[in-house]
Amino acid sequence: MNHISDLTPEGIQNADKDGDIPQPIQHGDCSPNCPDCGGIGYVRYEVPVEHPKFGKVERCRYAQSRSIAAYLRSGNLDPRIGLTADEIRNLNWNLVRKGVNQADQACATTRKAFEDGHGLVFLYGGFGQGKSLILKIAVATAVRAGKRAAYANLSSVLDNIRTAYDERENKMTELVRRMEWWSSLDVLAIDELDKVGQTDWAKERFFQLMDLLYQRAVRQEALTIVAANYQSTDELSGYLKSRIEDNRFACNGYLIHLKGADGRKSMPKNWKY
């Protein structure tokens, strides 16, 4: 693996023409001693032409974790991400325990979708099934990997979009901008689908958003994970049921009914998540 400075003129010739001691040029934001990128923050791979990584430049994994760590330290977390800095740092797939309920199976399927990077996953069932936990883990893992991701209750998403409509002068532009923010993420986890607002406005916006997310999932561009306290998919409105039951998702087992025990009854007393 070479670093990108091999490709830049500065990487080859770095002497000052007045004969002063050459100053090393700070190429990137990684550590100058980084074994992967030498400081530049990006890497390219020595692979044959037919390899999928051929010709691609990627973010160095150390640079990526450095910038995430700096972002978390800065306290400038985008509140729309919907997780605390502690959750982003610590939530991971291994926190879902076997033998409590069916959350471990749901977690394995969600994780597979996450690793594929696209799809529409629907988790439904009663309280304490680990649905919210799985959604948050997916988003925390995505943020740590440098992806654009957010976790939110459906009502908060709709509130965020509605505020644009209530407050801003240029209402339509702001509305479009906010719809675009929620529908353009790499990973979006929408919780508490059952508590959707019943106004025509809320229903219409929700339909519009879900349709955009559905289309991106079909095009294999993004992952949406939805959770609801439902006992059956018949509780979904027709248009949503049809999209969620799309065979391209259902055949991967992305329609997940959790019918186990309430995990809240058996969580250890120091359990934070």
Ligand X SMILES: Nc1ncnc2c1ncn2[C@@H]1O[C@H](COP(=O)(O)OP(=O)(O)O)[C@@H](O)[C@H]1O
Residues at the site binding Zn ion, with contacts judged by CB under 5 A: 30, 34, 36-37, 60, 62-63
Distance CA(182)–CA(213), nearest Å, equals 9
Does 153 contact Mg ion by CB under 5 A?
Answer: no
Q: Which does 81 bind (CB under 5 to 8 A by kind): ligand X, Mg ion, Zn ion, none?
A: none
Distance CA(91)–CA(94), nearest Å, equals 8
Q: Which does 60 bind (CB under 5 to 8 A by kind): Zn ion, Mg ion, ligand X, none?
A: Zn ion
Using CB under 5 A as the binding criterion, the count of chain residues that bind Mg ion stands at 2
Dmax over CA atoms of the chain, in Å, equals: 77
Among 101, 132, 141, 183, binds Mg ion (CB under 5 A): 132
Compare residues 39 and 119 and give the one whose CB is closer to Zn ion.
Answer: 39
Strand (E) positions, 217-266? 223-228, 255-258
Compare residues 65 and 184 and give the one whose CB is closer to Zn ion.
Answer: 65
Contact 148, 222 (CB under 8 A): no
Which positions touch ligand X (CB under 6 A)?
Answer: 95-97, 100-101, 103-104, 127-133, 263-264, 267, 271, 273
Compare residues 28 and 130 and give the one whose CB is closer to Mg ion.
Answer: 130
Contact 260, 107 (CB under 8 A): no
Distance CA(49)–CA(2), nearest Å, equals 16
Take residue 102 and report the two structure tokens written for it. Answer: 């069916």
Give the nearest distance from C-beta 59 to Zn ion in angstroms.
Answer: 9
Please give the residue ranges that form the binding site for Mg ion (CB under 5 A).
Answer: 131-132
